[in-house]
Amino acid sequence: MTYAAPLADIKFVLENVAGLGKVTALPAFAEATPDLVESILEEAAKIAADTLAPLNKVGDTSGAKLVDGKVVVSPGWTEAWNVLVEGGWNGLPFSPDHGGMGLPNVLNTAVHEMWQAANMAFTLCPMLTQGAVNAIESYGTDEQKATYLPKMVTGEWTGTMNLTEPAAGSDLAAIRTKAVPEGDHFRIFGQKIFITYGDHEMTENVIHLVLGRLPDAPAGVKGISLFIVPKFLVGADGSLGARNDAVCASLEHKLGIHGSPTAVMAFGEKDGAIGYLVGEANRGLEYMFTMMNHARQAVGLQGLGIAERAYQQALSYARDRVQGKPVGWTQPGNTGIVNHPDVRRMLMTMKCQIEAMRGLIYSAAAHVDVAHHAEDPATRDHAQLMADLYTPLVKGWSTEVGNVVASLGVQVHGGMGYIEETGAAQHFRDARITTIYEGTTAIQANDLVLRKTLRDNGQGIGVLLADVTATAQAAEAAGLGIGAQLVKGVAAAKACVDWMLSVAKQDLRLPAGAAVPFLELMGILVGGQMMAKAALAAKGSDQPFLAAKLVTARFFADHVMSKIDGLAQSIIAGSDAIMALDDEVL
């Protein structure tokens, strides 16, 4: 089973849930006409189906390899990358000043959904390159922008993010990489692990963004600086010079995404890798969060993409596979297992959550567009607040759901799902990393609870819950059952927020222990809001595609939103049991 982009649903969500029209009405996006948007989506879908999807299994079975010190990518990878470069695809959301198309982030998100679904291991490379461009564009000097951005925007050069070290995983305060001043540059010494596309031969240069410490840096996260470390040094005229002292020491052997080279990078094995300070010293973590927040939304998008791919494959298999007579089946002849009630339950569970994720992720991307480009300061501030609150939901909830959907895809296949030849197992294996890298689900949940709920005494999340309430009221007025579920869900969320604000004063471990269930609750709630918006836009239509929106919204309300009460119960009543046992008797 190959992949076909769900263009009808992508366009529907862009227009009716994420508010693409409001984004393209901004002066910055005057070029984003409906015809151009249509053309971009159609062509991206072709690339997904014709170029990337056929390489997905190739990457899984013939992954990247380290040969004589060089990283050799999977067969077809370089040719596929050249397709993106020739089309200027990497520059879609970037300023024309650097050779980009200047189109909305939300449109770029829709394009990348298709590519992540078609080939997640491959699409990690443009994803990270775009994040590196964002960081340099935001904080680099004019000279750095002129040196690196034009070829990174076109995709002629790729970018990486170098944070993690053997002794510094999620605890970045433990970073040991050193940066020794030397004239107008620095010598970088240290090792980074888990560096996605840390080296390869698809492009002539790789631009690393590396976190490190100056000799006199204060301890902890306040002493981290950010450096540009190119694989090949770049001359004043843009020409490539000597190979830098930054090499791939080994590649990780992984559960999934085999086509993506995950490198152990050694900086300064000889004289020290030459690096250039980005922005001010000791503000590197702040700058890197520009890249990390982009990556968090992009990894959430991977959860959606892999779920869509798993669903398409499961649905196709269920239609073709004949096993027994379904309960209640009265038609003559045999039928696929798609008509067995429990298989249908699994498929509907997959389908409705995919639609909810798509609405959430596209809406988050649209908020980023408005936050960066709206002319009214109050509008920008509100959009930034919403983007900040959505980001942990996008990353945390969407990737957890992506894992559930990929697992259901295996289950729909039955025993054949456990056999690698069907491909269902690859989606399950590929999905598993998404809840881990770019900040685990717990890190996203702690961000939501500790930073974005407790820090401002619940004010920000109150704005988000008010927004959900407005949608709930509109859905109730339209006679949609999901409206009542949203009202109940908001009440449960408010009760959880009040509880966390109260107990945090006595024992901060209690809200921390409840953080992941609260993130799931909020993901389901905001996902339900997206389903309600879709149902409101579809109500009254007799077109099968639109009429289906009412059914999936009802299914989401009855089968997914019904979990909210249980989550609220475990948060408020069950959190004190989390740390109750001594670790010796666990």
Which residues form the catalytic set? 438
Cβ-based burial of 302 (10 A; exposed 0-12, middle 13-18, buried ≥19): buried
Indicate the residue type of 265: M
SS (H, E, C) 570-586: HHHHHHHHCCCCCHHHC
- Other C-beta atoms within 10 Å of 387: how many? 23
* DSSP secondary structure letters along 39-69: HHHHHHHHIIIIIIGGGHHHHHHS--EEETT
Tokens representing 390 are 């959505």
Residue type (1 letter), 500? M
Amino acid at 209: L
* C-alpha pair distances (Å), 102 with each of 130, 249, 369: 13, 38, 11
Buried b (16+ CB within 10 A) or exposed e, 89-122: bbbbbbeeebbbbbbbbbbbbbbbbbbbbbbbbb
Alpha helices of 414-514 — where are they, by DSSP H? 424-432, 441-446, 459-477, 482-503, 509-513
Length, in residues, of the chain: 586
**Phi/psi at 33 (5° precision):** -75, 160
Q: What are the phi and psi torsion angles at 19 (to 5°)?
A: 75, 45
- Element (H or E) spanning 162, and its range? strand 157-162
User: 239: Cβ–Cβ under 8 A, 6 or more apart, which residues?
Assistant: none
Host H or E run for residue 555: helix 544-555
Identity of residue 424: A
**DSSP one-letter string for 344-413:** HHHHHHHHHHHHHHHHHHHHHHHHHHHHHH-SSHHHHHHHHHHHHHHHHIIIIIHHHHHHHHHHHHHHHH
What six digits make up the tokens of 586?
């666990």
Which two structure tokens, joined as six digits, stand for 176?
């040991």
Helices (H) and strands (E) in the chain, counts: 20, 12
Phi, psi of 226 (to 5 degrees): -115, 135
Pure H helices in 258-283: none
